[in-house]
Structure 1
């Protein structure tokens, strides 16, 4: 096996804030893009200091854990500084609430200009950026931010990726409960209809249940008792992005997990060797990848974008994953060849190594080179 050289790897930095203290307040009017009436909201606002990235970045992804129960919601915005020194406008990175009674949870399309654009949950720079600021506006009395972070990165152009050497998690497998998205086919068309479209809520539910967290029986009362896993339907409802018309908004998934006392963020890993550190620490990771069926032996399908949970590694270093695209819970556990998995996850035409990291506050993260 060949260990990737630095030139083969993404440049990634992750910044985190654990204290968000608003310093501005007021009243604002809001017209929901999916509503018909303007509503008035008291708000408080926090604006971060400008953070240097350390290299010319082309993508930034914020993520957060927060509280926004009935009667509240929050808006996350980002402003960047280009390498030529100019500031961009403020880009809207998401309007989020726990439920759907006050606003429609949504990303915001159509923001593109000469500096960049927002692709659902990712700021994509037209011109590389070297620094940024965040702005979070909390509407209503119940909104509060617990943690917020930003992943900044540049992914090298690479149609394929060298495979990394098996490392410290060889032979380690975590007991993550299996949940199939396919068993929810046809459920709740207003939130994506289950089946092919619910890989994100199925993956998030697996991780929450691994940590012993998630919605209680009263929260699941709206689901048919015959449902194979009502928690997946609940996650789909409360992760749904009305503009994207799907449940795959990365920060919305992290925010959903944060409702249950978990910490979390979105970042990029640079190899499976980094994923092994998390597995060794007892933390499963949700990965995002795209591939044709023959590129990932054992998958049995092709996808333009799909989430699954890495739960361990074989003694030879191959990837053990809970893949929700399986037809049943009993067939969710898969073993994928290390080289194939690493390639379809890290290459430029896939996610470039995107992961969701979800863990309890008392479970420490492994050591990092700055990308978490």
Structure 2
């Protein structure tokens, strides 16, 4: 069943469909027990070690422990033609696949967002797909969750519209159950296909692939968390404004006014001292300030969505920098954010709000990314907000209660008085590998699905 979805339906539509207040029975797990799910459960699982890769089925790819553990092409499984819908170019590609094992969930999920970390040298690219199992035992189709390359010379990175069956739909980068009261997802598996030009020696290498499955209940308000362990901590995250780029490179989502996601990604990468080189940004007009922001916009751009806000594409871009891990997941409260801030890890959050709902912002938005860099001694949120007139003006202090609510809710009233969706606690998390950042505890590692 094909479903045509406008690019501006975006993730909000999936989030709206995901909301439900009906209690769900526990899901029978591998041990045969019936487990009662926690409130607003979230499950993030990643495959990133040689042992993980061997748990899947390979056809034309091999697991490699040289450098970072990952999968790369061995003797390809075959050759296939691909017609790029955004250029009209048809080309032949060698390919191989890794099909992951079934991951059983301990609750019925209504939404899933994948993310991946990979290297795609010139002449290579990857595709990530999802197969889900419903509570009644039925299966989804294999859904394409992204066709991706770090560059844009070989293919145009793209999401795929028009995917769905009678019970689920893919909205850009988000799998969503259409009616969570009737059925939900109890398990899934991922498939990664690696492509290269026939006869070439270069290969993509994928070192992390995972997915965040969740069920966040319908809510206009969330309980307030108490200020905790990160009070008085502020991380030295560089400041970049998207608004200084208004009108620049309109071919990428109409220019800087829409670049909150790549601008936030640039701030976090800068914090980790991962900037593109001068050679990388040599294509940027030298009259433009902060070419790294323009660079991030170009290389996170989704040619189907026609925007830079594809969540896994931002994470994948961040992971192209040396020794970086990057995921898309959900957190349950600002207490979770505090735990990460205390470990030295800033957090990119997604929220939507009316002007009067966030004191000091000076604007309202149907969807916006900003970077939490710390907390005041009183527990209020310190955020680098890219929707600011200059780099110097990016740092803001927002009231804890207001910020937490606009970030965690799934329902809100819009400027017309109607009901719209919220992100339900979505975040991007970027950090160096665990070997490079030893502050991480096992509890932190759980967030990355390790």
Which band: TM-score by shorter chain? over 0.9
> How far has the Cα of 1:148 moved from its partner?
1.1
Indicate the residue corresponding to 1:32 in structure 2: 84
List per-residue Cα deviations over 1:126-183 (Å, max 9, x = no partner).
Answer: 3310000000001013211011111000001111112100110000000000000000
Deviations 1:205-251 (A, max 9, x none): 00001000021000111112221200000000000001111000011
1:324 aligns to what?
386
Q: Tell me the CA shift for residue 53 of structure 1.
A: 1.2
Task: Measure the CA separation in 2 of the matches of 1:289 and 1:156.
Answer: 16
User: Helix, strand or coil for the counterpart of 2:153?
Assistant: coil
- Confirm whether residue 230 of structure 1 aligns to residue 291 of structure 2: yes
TM-score by length of 2: 0.79
- CA shift, 1:37, in A, is 2.9
Distance 1:237 1:41 in 2: 24
Cα deviation, residue 69, structure 1: 2.3
Indicate the larger mover: 200-209 or 118-127. 118-127
Within the candidate set 406, 426, 432, 1:360 is matched to 432
Match of 1:99 among 126, 151, 157: 151
* Contact kept? 2:159, 2:173, Cα under 8 Å: yes
Tell me the equivalent position of 1:239.
Answer: 300
Paired position in structure 1 for 2:186 = 130
Q: Please, which runs of 5 or more residues in structure 2 have no aligned partner?
A: 1-35, 61-76, 197-201, 412-421
Q: Secondary structure at the match of 2:270?
A: helix
Partner of residue 320, structure 2: 259
Note the aligned Cα RMSD (angstroms).
1.6
- Asked whether 1:48 is paired with 2:100, we answer yes
**2:361 is aligned with 1:299:** yes
2:37 touches 2:106 (CA, 8 Å); kept in 1? Answer: no
How many residue pairs were aligned?
367
Runs of 4+ in 1 over 6 A off after TM superposition: none
1:331-350 equivalences in 2 (<5 Å)? 331-349=393-411, 350=422
Task: Check the 8 A contact 1:12/1:371 in 2, yes or no.
Answer: no
**Distance in 2 between residues matched to 1:206 and 1:338, nearest whole Å:** 22
CA shift for structure 1 position 189: 1.1
* SS of 1:63 mapped into structure 2: strand
User: Is the 1:205–1:235 Cα contact (8 Å) retained in structure 2?
Assistant: yes
Give matches, 1:107-122, under 5 Å: 107-122=159-174
Distance 1:370 1:165 in 2: 23
Contact 2:234/2:374 (<8 A) preserved: yes
Offset, 1:195: 2.8
Report the alpha carbon displacement of residue 343 of structure 1 after superposing the two structures with TM.
Answer: 0.3
The aligned residue for residue 202 of structure 1 is 263
Larger deviation: 19-28 or 64-73?
19-28
Normalised TM-score (structure 1): 0.96
2-structure distance, mates of 1:161, 1:317? 17
Cα deviation code 1:101-136 (max 9, x no counterpart): 111111011102213111111100233100000000
User: Is the partner of 1:159 in helix, strand or coil?
Assistant: coil
Post-superposition offset of 1:26: 1.4
**Contact 1:268 / 1:371 at 8 angstroms: preserved in 2?**
no
Q: Match of 2:4? A: none
Give the greater-gyration-radius structure (CA): 2
